[in-house]
Amino acid sequence: FGELGAEAKVIARTSVYLPCFFIHIWKPEEWPLFEKRVWMLHRWDEGKANAFTGIPTNIERYMEYTAWFDKLVEKKKIDRWTAQVGLWELGRRLEKEVKTNPAGLNKS
């Protein structure tokens, strides 16, 4: 992120979301939107045991998500905007399912 990332961290000391949002607004074609639903979906897709607990609090988590996002876009041959919108919607549905059936979710 360079100088912009350092400035964003100073502006938003308590959360990774605002710096990531600034970076996304600055270059949306390079940096995907990052929020709790897409993070939840990423963790679920990776088969992480703690997929549904906690939210990312550091920039390293955003970099992890961004690498996963880039691989997904390349593998599926879809444009980045479609991927962002689709992941947000899938994450929203997953979040709703977790609230109604937290123990019964299996990746299939």
For the whole model, what pTM was predicted? 0.77
- Residue 95 tokens read as 């979040």
Are 41 and 87 contacting, i.e. CB atoms less than 8 angstroms apart? yes
- Residue 91 tokens read as 């994450």
Q: Kindly report, residue by residue over 40-96, the tens digit of the pLDDT.
A: 899 888 888 565 666 677 778 888 999 999 999 999 999 999 999 999 999 999 888
Burial degree of 88 (CB within 10 A; 0-12, 13-18, 19+): middle
Q: Which residues contact 70 (CB under 8 A, 6 or more apart)?
A: none
